[in-house]
């Protein structure tokens, strides 16, 4: 009798440990947790997943048994968009792709406000003219050219913003005039800011402070727009820089390094499971296919950044603080799990790309040129190669042939 009981216990444990959701959760967990203090809020065991609010560790806020995971994911619309197995070759019919070009500046002045600009003295680059461009522009050109190529293959494409505008459809100046006060009033009503902060924003905040505030609101709005579109794939388009310190003349030093990287969700840090919204996104990343698929897609995109755009991926041995301290290596070259506003909130498969270093001396000189034209856009030939790399990545990930 005892033997039978023991056998029964062993067998039932075996079947629990083989539950596919448990296997997935245990595989995802190390990519999701960057700071071990969060483990006190998470319990994964033979029964299911238990998630705790930080101020109530005695009572689980969310309990999901393994048998309930499927309905939990469905109920919260956490199931990834199923990619149609392309009946027609070389077609993206039925596929939704969201392209999110980073930042929003419409001129150098605003780019400086949002600290997303590149200026390098000609003495550093050996060029006739100084280098001057900004990331918002590069990212938008990339998104627009890529969107036209995807649409030509039947894809349904969303770009989260218009050129030089935020996702609210206005540039910085116009938003400040028309929507800033309304947004503050809402924040005050929703207890996101107190009266003191409200008054400070209205009366004392500089344009730089306001641009920072707008950036946070804009990111949340982008996540909302993307999720409403229910894309199969989301690509956030960014161009990296190694320093945000300028010299007295407002110039950056040119650097020799060049590398690309991509972020997926995960890498939650200390206190980053404090809100209910964050805990729900954590559960989605833990139990759905989103993380696994995002890592796969991002690794393919990185592969083509190397082979097509000739940008090396960041070596895993590096001394970048935001990779070493704020991210978890995804075990794929150049891919890191990082808890960014968008990688956390956007459902489904996401690749948050940082395609190259804008302050690399060669890239800076090339990015400053307008030596390429496509889809009515005049831009740098480097942008073309980044578009090529994303396009090849999308194509391969979706199972099409070259």
Contact segment (CB under 5 A) with Zn ion among 49-57, 98-106, 141-149, 305-313 equals 98-106
Q: Which of residues 374-393 bind Zn ion (CB under 5 A)?
A: none
> How far does the chain reach from its first CA to its final CA, in angstroms?
62
C-beta closer to Zn ion: residue 139 or 145:
139
Q: Using the minimum distance from each CB to Zn ion, give the nearer residue, 232 or 338.
A: 338
**Angstrom distance (rounded) from CA 31 to CA 16:** 22
Only segment of 10-18, 33-41, 147-155, 234-242 that touches Zn ion (CB under 5 A): 234-242
Span interacting with Zn ion, options 178-186, 213-221, 238-246, 345-353, rule CB under 5 A: 238-246
Pick from 250, 262, 214, 217: nearest CA to 105: 214
Residue-by-residue DSSP string for 7-36: HHHHHHHHHHHT-HHHHHHHHHHHHHBSSG
State in angstroms the smallest separation of the CB of 246 from Zn ion: 17
Q: How far is the CB of 136 from Zn ion (least distance, A)?
A: 8
Of 1-9, 29-37, 59-67, 100-108: span binding Zn ion (CB under 5 A): 100-108
Q: Which two tokens stand for residue 174?
A: 């116009």
How many chain residues bind Zn ion (CB under 5 A)? 2
Contacts of 82 (CB under 8 A, 6+ apart): none
Residue number with CB closer to Zn ion (102 or 265): 102
DSSP state of 311: P
244 by DSSP, 3-state: which?
coil
| Least gap, CB of 342 to Zn ion (angstroms) | 11
Give the binding range for Zn ion (CB under 5 A) out of 71-79, 188-196, 231-239, 365-373: 231-239
Query: Does 161 participate in binding Zn ion (rule CB under 5 A)?
Result: no
Can residue 353 be called a binding residue for Zn ion (CB under 5 A)? no
Pairing of strands 377-379, 48-51: unpaired
Nearest CB to Zn ion, comparing residues 238 and 279:
238
DSSP, collapsed to helix, strand or coil, labels residue 280 as helix
Query: Least distance in Å: CB of 102 to Zn ion?
Result: 4
Residue number with CB closer to Zn ion (238 or 345): 238
| Token pair of 103 as six digits | 């930042």
Instruction: Select from 83-91, 101-109, 212-220, 342-350 the region that touches Zn ion (CB under 5 A).
Output: 101-109
Q: What is the enclosing helix (H) or strand (E) of 43? A: strand 42-44
Whole-number minimum distance, CB 242 to Zn ion, in Å? 13
Closer residue to Zn ion (CB): 184 or 260: 260
Question: Which of the ranges 97-105, 292-300, 364-372, 378-386 carries the binding residues for Zn ion, by CB under 5 A?
Answer: 97-105
Smallest distance from Zn ion to CB 299, Å: 21
22: its two tokens: 């448990």
Tokens read off for 239: 């161009």
Minimum CB separation of residue 248 from Zn ion in Å reads: 25
State the nearest-atom distance from the C-beta of 311 to Zn ion, in Å. 15
For Zn ion, which is the closer residue by CB, 102 or 333?
102
Residue 102 binds to Zn ion (criterion: CB under 5 A): yes
In sequence order, which residues have a C-beta less than 8 Å from that of residue 254 and are 6 or more positions away?
120, 124, 125, 359, 360, 361, 364
The angle subtended at Cα 168 by Cα 166 and Cα 171, nearest 5°, is 45
Contacts of 356 (CB under 8 A, 6+ apart): 239, 240, 258, 259, 260, 305, 309, 311, 363, 382, 386
Comparison of 39 and 322: residue with beta carbon closer to Zn ion: 322
Nearer to Zn ion, 193 or 237 (CB): 237
Q: Give yes or no for a contact between 202 and 140, defined as CB atoms under 8 angstroms apart.
A: no
The strand pair at 349-357 and 261-264 is best described as antiparallel
Q: Work out which of 165, 238, 303, 384 binds Zn ion, going by CB under 5 A.
A: 238
Residue number of the CB closest to Zn ion reads 238
- Residue ranges that bind Zn ion, judged by CB under 5 A: 102, 238
């Amino acid at each position: 009798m005892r033997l039978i009981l023991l056998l029964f216990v062993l067998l039932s444990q075996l079947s629990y440990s083989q539950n596919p959701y448990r296997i997935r959760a245990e595989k995802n967990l190390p990519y999701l947790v960057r700071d071990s203090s969060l483990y006190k809020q998470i319990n994964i065991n033979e029964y299911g997943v238990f998630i705790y609010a930080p101020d109530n560790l005695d009572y689980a806020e969310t309990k999901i048994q393994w048998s309930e995971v499927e309905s939990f994911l469905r109920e919260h619309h956490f199931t990834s968009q199923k990619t149609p197995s392309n009946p027609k070759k070389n077609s993206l019919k039925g596929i939704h792709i969201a392209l999110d070009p980073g930042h929003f500046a419409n001129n150098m002045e605003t780019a400086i406000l949002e600290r997303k600009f590149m200026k390098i003295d000609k003495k550093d680059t050996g060029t006739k003219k100084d280098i001057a461009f900004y990331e918002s522009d590069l990212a938008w050109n990339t998104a627009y050219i890529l969107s036209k190529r995807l649409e030509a293959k039947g894809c349904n494409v969303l770009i989260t913003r218009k050129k030089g505008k935020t996702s609210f459809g206005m540039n910085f100046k116009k938003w400040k005039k028309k929507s800033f006060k309304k947004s503050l009033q809402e924040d005050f009503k929703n207890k996101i800011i107190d009266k003191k902060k409200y008054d400070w924003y209205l009366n004392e905040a500089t344009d730089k402070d306001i641009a920072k505030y707008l950036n946070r609101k804009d990111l949340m709005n982008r996540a909302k727009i993307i999720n409403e579109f229910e894309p199969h794939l989301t690509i956030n388009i960014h161009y990296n820089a190694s320093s945000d310190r300028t010299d007295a003349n407002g110039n950056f030093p040119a650097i020799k390094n060049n590398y690309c990287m991509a972020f997926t969700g995960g890498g939650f840090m200390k206190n980053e499971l404090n809100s209910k919204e964050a805990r729900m996104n954590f559960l989605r990343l833990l139990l759905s296919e989103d993380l696994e698929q995002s890592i796969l897609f991002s690794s393919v995109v990185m592969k083509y950044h190397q082979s097509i755009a000739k940008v090396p991926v960041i070596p895993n041995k590096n001394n970048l603080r935001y990779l070493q301290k704020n991210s978890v290596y995804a075990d794929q070259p150049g891919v890191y799990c990082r808890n960014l506003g968008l990688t956390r909130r956007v459902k489904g498969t996401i690749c948050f790309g940082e395609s190259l270093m804008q302050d690399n001396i060669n890239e800076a000189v090339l990015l400053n040129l307008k030596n390429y034209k496509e889809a009515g856009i005049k831009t740098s030939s480097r942008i073309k190669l980044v578009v090529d790399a994303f396009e090849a990545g999308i194509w391969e990930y979706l199972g099409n042939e070259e």
